[in-house]
């Protein structure tokens, strides 16, 4: 990321907090990348750049799941969307009606229904397909390997037993009924880089460094251990 992109993120941060004083913000740095998080409770907006593009992208999340995104450089319009999303707590369907140009993720319809735990878990895995097709993820990770690993995990039945979620370049699995994790909840995080990943099993304090992006017996054992925790 070049200095002009970082300056743009800082300007957006300042502008948003001027117009929405209750919002929280944080600039996050990962290696050579930087992105801005704007959040309140479990609702989050990430502002970031793809490579050297001049206009930033805004991704809107609830409980760490992407619901809609858009390439957006108009700070005034961004504030309008954030106020509706965060201050008014508008539902995803209301957001789509108010801002039809937003790219809405498939999770939206399910988010507003009363689903069984198994259905919620399975739908969270369905959202991983979009994660694998995001331009930024494809530029940093071998998504063919990642998609194959996800498919193997699903074939083994873990999509019915674990919830999946993503951050910028990571995938997390847990037994949480709701999206988002409380401090101390058992989970596994996969951090991707090219054709390898670092795997953090927080409940076992296990770290596998530069592990190939493959569903190996070691990975399967960690997932089995995670399923032994109660859904909470």
Mean pLDDT of 63-78: 78
Is pLDDT above 60 for 96?
Answer: yes
Is pLDDT above 70 for 104?
Answer: no
Q: Which of 184 and 230 is assigned the larger pLDDT?
A: 230
Where b means 16+ CB within 10 Å and e means fewer, 161-193 reads bbbbbbbbbbbbbbbbeebbbeeeebbbbbbbe
Distance between CA atoms of residues 89 and 68, nearest Å: 15
Distance between CA atoms of residues 150 and 128, nearest Å: 8
pLDDT in the model for residue 106: 46
pLDDT in the model for residue 153: 96
Is pLDDT above 50 for 181?
Answer: yes
pTM exceeding the 0.85 threshold for the entire prediction: no
Three-class SS state of 143: helix
% of the chain surpassing 70 pLDDT:
87
Contacts (Cβ under 8 Å, ≥6 apart) of 211:
196, 197, 198, 199, 218, 219
The tens digit of pLDDT for each residue in 20-40 reads 999 999 998 776 678 899 988
What are the residue ranges spanned by the domains of the chain?
3-111, 117-227
Is pLDDT above 90 for 109?
Answer: no
pLDDT in the model for residue 222: 95
The tens digit of pLDDT for each residue in 127-176 reads 898 889 888 899 999 999 999 999 999 999 999 999 998 888 899 999 88
By CB atoms closer than 10 A (0-12, 13-18, 19+), residue 49 is buried
């Amino acid at each position: 990321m070049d200095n002009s992109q970082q300056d743009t993120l800082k300007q957006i941060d300042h502008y948003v907090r001027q117009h929405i004083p209750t919002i929280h913000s944080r600039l996050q740095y990962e290696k050579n990348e930087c992105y801005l998080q704007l959040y309140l409770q479990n609702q989050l907006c990430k502002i970031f750049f793809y490579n050297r593009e001049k206009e930033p992208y805004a991704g809107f999340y609830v409980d760490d799941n992407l619901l809609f995104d858009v390439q957006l450089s108009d700070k005034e319009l961004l504030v309008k969307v954030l106020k509706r999303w965060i201050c008014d707590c508008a539902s995803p369907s209301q957001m789509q009606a108010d801002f039809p140009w937003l790219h809405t993720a498939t999770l939206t319809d399910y988010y507003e229904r009363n689903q069984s735990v198994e259905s919620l878990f399975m739908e969270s895995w369905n959202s991983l397909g979009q994660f694998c097709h995001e331009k930024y993820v494809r530029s940093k990770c071998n998504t063919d390997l990642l998609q194959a690993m996800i498919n193997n995990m699903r074939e083994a039945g873990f999509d019915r037993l674990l919830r999946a979620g993503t951050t910028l370049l990571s995938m997390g699995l847990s037994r949480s009924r709701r999206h988002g994790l409380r401090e101390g909840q058992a989970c596994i995080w996969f951090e991707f880089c090219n054709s390898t990943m670092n795997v953090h099993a927080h409940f076992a304090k296990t770290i596998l460094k530069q592990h190939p992006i493959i569903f190996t017996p070691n990975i399967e054992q960690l997932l089995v251990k995670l399923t032994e925790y109660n859904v909470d």
